[in-house]
Chain A
Amino acid sequence: DTAVSQTPKYLVTQMGNDKSIKCEQNLGHDTMYWYKQDSKKFLKIMFSYNNKELIINETVPNRFSPKSPDKAHLNLHINSLELGDSAVYFCASSIGLAGNYEQYFGPGTRLTVT
């Protein structure tokens, strides 16, 4: 069974559209994250959720909104997509917020905005 799964794997859309990426973890973890990996493979944290509460919100445009229906799911909704949003988005989870916990990553969603 896949520990952290994301759908879709690939997403191609036009500027101005609204899209969502779904993430599910079956590890029983309390904390989930969204990362953005750019074309140079640089990884940046976007959000983290612990027990359905937003914990970290980096300088991410408010067009991006995480939504967590329960602690096993953390979806990413993006409004008014822009060319610069093209990237690979990774979901991850960890046991909790303490710094010594490693994170488990999903396979990624490659978003292409045309």
Chain B
Amino acid sequence: AQSVAQPEDQVNVAEGNPLTVKCTYSVSGNPYLFWYVQYPNRGLQFLLKYITGDNLVKGSYGFEAEFNKSQTSFHLKKPSALVSDSALYFCAVRDRGYNNDMRFGAGTRLTVKP
């Protein structure tokens, strides 16, 4: 069965520093991987996804993520954090194929301090 883990409940970084939010997955075959962001009292917003091809995926707001098949990871990164990046980040995995549900990680709260 597919599953996704976000090992850190909380990540704190200083503004201007690089940030990483970690995600590992467990699924048979080659999954589709997603990152979403949730701001307070808002719905989830899609950031980026890995489908196939280049392991480095670029997304919205300067975020990128690297698919690492050997480590079954899909960590979210940004070279220079902004205070406005503070939010709850969700990694999600979905089996390839048709009619498979998307499984979300437990979420990581990112706090960027001025």
Which partner residue on chain B sits nearest A102 by CB separation? Answer: B46
Report the minimum CB–CB distance from A92 to chain B (whole Å).
8
- The answer to whether B101 and A58 touch across the interface, beta carbons within 8 angstroms, is yes
Report the minimum CB–CB distance from A66 to chain B (whole Å).
14
- The answer to whether B43 and A105 touch across the interface, beta carbons within 8 angstroms, is yes
B22 within 8 A of A: no
- The answer to whether A40 and B106 touch across the interface, beta carbons within 8 angstroms, is yes
A107–B39 Cα distance when bound, in Å, is 10
- The answer to whether A43 and B90 touch across the interface, beta carbons within 8 angstroms, is yes
- The answer to whether B46 and A41 touch across the interface, beta carbons within 8 angstroms, is no
Q: Which of B29-70 touch A at CB < 8 Å?
A: 32, 34, 36, 38, 41-46, 49, 51
B106 / chain A contacts, CB cutoff of 8 Å: 40-42
- The answer to whether A105 and B44 touch across the interface, beta carbons within 8 angstroms, is yes
A98 within 8 A of B: yes
* Chain B: number of interface residues, binned into ranges: 20 to 34
B97 / chain A contacts, CB cutoff of 8 Å: 99
- The answer to whether B43 and A99 touch across the interface, beta carbons within 8 angstroms, is no
Count A interface residues, CB 8 Å: 24
- The answer to whether B94 and A99 touch across the interface, beta carbons within 8 angstroms, is yes
Most chain B CB within 10 A, of A43, A45, A103, A107, is at A43
- The answer to whether A100 and B101 touch across the interface, beta carbons within 8 angstroms, is no
- The answer to whether B99 and A56 touch across the interface, beta carbons within 8 angstroms, is yes
A40–B106 Cα distance when bound, in Å, is 8
Report the minimum CB–CB distance from A39 to chain B (whole Å).
12
- The answer to whether B43 and A48 touch across the interface, beta carbons within 8 angstroms, is no
Report the minimum CB–CB distance from B18 to chain A (whole Å).
25
Using A40-B106, A41-B88, A108-B42 as known contacts, say yes or no to A48 and B49 having CB atoms under 8 A apart: no
Interface residues of B (CB under 8 A from A): 32, 34, 36, 38, 41-46, 49, 51, 88, 90, 94-102, 104, 106-107
Please provide the 9 A-B residue pairs with the shortest distance between their CB atoms, ordered closest to farther.
Answer: A105-B43, A99-B94, A43-B104, A105-B44, A102-B46, A45-B101, A100-B51, A107-B43, A99-B32
